[in-house]
Amino acid sequence: IAWLIGWALILEYTIGGAAVARGISPNL
């Protein structure tokens, strides 16, 4: 189950980071 939690965290950070980057730099 640990790998599932880790994978969920990675996906969350990836999607969240992309959303934040898009919000800061709309040109991306």
Domain range for 19: 1-28
Confidence class of residue 28 from pLDDT cuts 50, 70 and 90? low
The CA distances from residue 19 to 1, 12, 25, in Å, are 27, 10, 10
- pTM (whole model) above 0.85: no
Confidence class of residue 1 from pLDDT cuts 50, 70 and 90? confident
Residue 27 pLDDT exceeds 70: no
* pLDDT per position as a tens digit, 3-26: 889 898 998 888 877 777 777 766
Give how many domains the chain has, as a whole number: 1
21 Cβ contact list (under 8 Å, min separation 6): 28
